[in-house]
Amino acid sequence: MSNPFEELPNTNSEKKLSISTIKMIIVVLVIAIGIVLLFFSHISPRTVNKASYMIDNQMNNSKEILSPTHPYENGTYKIGADMPSGEYVLFTDSSGYFSVSSDSSGNSILFNGNFKNNSIVTVKNGEYLKLSRCYAEPIADVKSLPTDGEGMFLIGEHLSAGEYKLLATESGYYCIYSNSRHDDIIDNDNFENETYVKVRNGQYLLLSRARIVS
């Protein structure tokens, strides 16, 4: 049988010990926060800005790698090595020039041309394509072209077959090709003021210093 007069444990001392422990933890946390704040106060804005710049620069570089602009810009390309053979649409913001040669010297020119807005060419393996003030995109990636000015258009793809009225902006010129090698002319003419052309699917219409009257 227990002694009713037996001394019970002092629970107040345990409570006091627990409160002391909590206070000590709080003090340690305050000291730690002060040390961290003191450390960051010595970092100059220049260091922070430099780190931010490095992160932004790496992000921009990764975007450039993942999303290049135009893979075939100014330069000379060997077909089959630097770019695949096939048909390409050439674009320019001012006045572009291209030439297709049979050798790397550029002296054996198979066909060439100056153009505004756009042109279309087909290149074969072993040939050399020179691009000046322009860039090339595979024709399969070009679903539409502006047809309200100068340019070259694939009939049935960029322009519907039919008859068109042309208006010369200066001394106008048009040419209808059977292909984009620019070597088989179906019809062409220099004209003043206005004229008419009729084109069929699969043909190519080249307009220089002229536009289609809508």
What percent of the chain stands above pLDDT 70?
74
Mean pLDDT within 39-60: 46
The number of angstroms, rounded, from the C-alpha of 112 to the middle of its chain's C-alpha atoms is: 26
Neighbours of 11 (CB within 10 A): 8
152 Cα distance to chain centroid: 23
Distance separating alpha carbons of residues 109 and 96, to the nearest angstrom: 17
* Among the ranges given (20-24, 42-46, 80-84, 193-197), the one the predictor scored with the smallest mean pLDDT: 42-46
* pLDDT recorded at residue 35: 72
Q: pLDDT for 135-194, tens place per residue?
A: 999 999 998 999 999 999 999 999 999 999 999 999 999 999 999 999 999 999 999 999
172 alpha carbon, distance to own chain's centre: 34
Please say if the pLDDT value at position 58 is more than 70: no
Looking at the predicted structure, is the pLDDT value of residue 207 above 90? yes
Distances (CA, A) of 173 to 17, 166, 192, 206: 101, 10, 9, 8
Burial class (CB in 10 A: 0-12, 13-18, 19+), 51: exposed
Q: Tokens 């595979």 map to which residue?
A: 138
Say if strands 128-132 and 151-154 run parallel, antiparallel, or are unpaired.
unpaired
Segment 92-121 shows an average pLDDT of 96
